[in-house]
């Protein structure tokens, strides 16, 4: 990765959630967050790739985000909000 340009370091996290009832899918949602892979880790929070996943919108790695920021911008937070939206249309 050291010789790679920022464009070649492009990365994203994806979350897919499937909700099923009695073995039948009733909602499938997905979302993603785009970023890039850094040369070296930054931050103390998160897990896995969070310290090297740079999120340009906030100029931080996912390991540097507060819990509130991560919930707002993460692929998981966005996918769960989509799921809630889908559920609200089913009720």
Domains observed in the chain: 7-90 (3.90.950.10)
pTM confidence score: 0.86
Q: Quick one: average pLDDT of 16-45? A: 95
Provide the mean pLDDT of the chain.
94
Tokens 């100029």 — which residue?
59
Check whether 19 has a pLDDT greater than 90: yes
Q: What whole-number percentage of the chain has pLDDT above 70? A: 100
For residue 60, the model assigns a pLDDT of: 98
Name 36's Cβ contacts closer than 8 Å, sequence gap at least 6: 6, 9, 10, 11, 53, 54, 56
For residue 3, the model assigns a pLDDT of: 86
For residue 5, the model assigns a pLDDT of: 85
Q: Quick one: average pLDDT of 57-80? A: 97
């Amino acid at each position: 990765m050291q010789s790679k340009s920022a464009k070649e370091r492009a990365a994203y996290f994806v979350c897919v959630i499937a909700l099923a009832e009695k073995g039948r899918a009733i909602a499938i949602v997905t979302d993603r967050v785009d970023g890039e892979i850094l040369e070296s880790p930054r931050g103390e929070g998160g897990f896995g790739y969070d310290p090297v996943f740079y999120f340009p919108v906030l100029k931080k790695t996912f390991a540097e985000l507060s819990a509130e920021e991560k919930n707002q911008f993460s692929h998981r937070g966005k996918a769960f909000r989509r799921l809630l939206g889908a559920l609200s249309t089913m009720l």
